Amino acid sequence: MATYTLPELPYDYAALAPVISPEIIELHHDKHHAAYVKGANDTLEQLAEARDKESWGSINGLEKNLAFHLSGHILHSIYWHNMSGDGGGEPHEKDGVGELADAIAESFGSYAGFKAQLTKAAATTQGSGWGVLAYEPVSGRLIVEQIYDHQGNVGQGSVPILVFDAWEHAFYLQYKNQKVDFIEAMWRVVNWQDVARRYAAAKERANTLLLAP
């Protein structure tokens, strides 16, 4: 069975400048994301050891670590592809993104309402967290989630399709304490084609969850 591996960036470190500096991208991917990959693999090993030894004294901590590192790995893997140096603008202006643009308008009333909600959710995270646009398979709606750390405050079954990293490591070297400025700048690099691809895949997957009507 495979272990987790750090995916390569789909662009070079400077591709998202000036919105995100090359120094941040390098540290964020090569050090922070890599640490979550290692953490997930290490925790799986520790759980295997616990099973072998029938030693369950650390089970609560191990399960928490697994959720933290695995969710960190998954969110960052989405994050890199959600951004592009050619990104930005609004989804209805882009080729091949019409279904996503319609779903945003239906779920949130308008694109402006959606953008304001995701910006606020990301910019007001307390401590470390994420603002996320997710497909919710029971209702077929898009929802915004404000995630604590990498794994808390999530509706089970929802599939993240656009993720804004609001941890300080994502912006502090460049934006200092101005988290709102960073989140507002993020809209200039959103890769709407990637988000639309994830939306279509999430809708497909909903049928396999045995949740959708």
CB-wise, 33 or 94, nearer to Mn ion? 33
Q: Cβ of residue 95: shortest distance to Mn ion, in angstroms?
A: 30
Would the annotation count 169 as a binding residue?
A: yes
CB-wise, 108 or 175, nearer to Mn ion? 175
CB-wise, 32 or 141, nearer to Mn ion? 32
Per DSSP, the residues of 109-141 read: SSHHHHHHHHHHHHHT-SSSEEEEEEEETTTTE
Q: Is 145 in the site for Mn ion (CB under 5 A)?
A: no
Q: Is 165 in the site for Mn ion (CB under 5 A)?
A: yes
Q: Cβ of residue 68: shortest distance to Mn ion, in angstroms?
A: 12
Whole-angstrom distance, CA of residue 34 vs CA of residue 20: 19
Q: Is 83 in the site for Mn ion (CB under 5 A)?
A: no
Question: Which helix (DSSP H) or strand (DSSP E) does residue 38 occupy?
Answer: helix 34-53
Whole-angstrom distance, CA of residue 129 vs CA of residue 14: 24
Residue of closest CB approach to Mn ion: 165
CB 79 within 8 A of CB 174: no
Spacing of C-alpha 158 from chain mean position: 12
Q: Is 171 in the site for Mn ion (CB under 5 A)?
A: no
| Contact positions vs Mn ion (CB under 5 A) | 165, 167
Binding residues for Mn(2+): 28, 76, 165, 169
